[in-house]
Amino acid sequence: MQTSAVKVENIAFMHIKGTSATKEAIKFACSDDYPCEGLYLEDIDLVSSSGGMTKSFCWEAYGSSSGLVNPPACFPC
């Protein structure tokens, strides 16, 4: 089975505050063939709606962050 993919690049997520219904409040699940590149996170604060900790998940996602980013960005260095 073959799946299709779209190239995602140069997208900024800025000044986002709220609650997440899932543990993975930030999730970038990108393609092996077309990784997400140039992602940018700034001033993000996502807390769990159930009171627990949130986390981020990255698969083939590359970018940078600045300022407060909660949960911390998962981009590789």
pLDDT in tens, 6-38: 889 999 999 999 999 999 999 999 999 999 999
Distance CA 1, CA 39 (A): 29
Task: Say if pTM beats, i.e. exceeds, 0.85.
Answer: yes
pLDDT in tens, 64-73: 999 999 999 9
SS (H, E, C) 14-61: EEEEEEECCCEEEEEECCCCCCEEEEEEEEEEEEECCCCCCEEEEECE
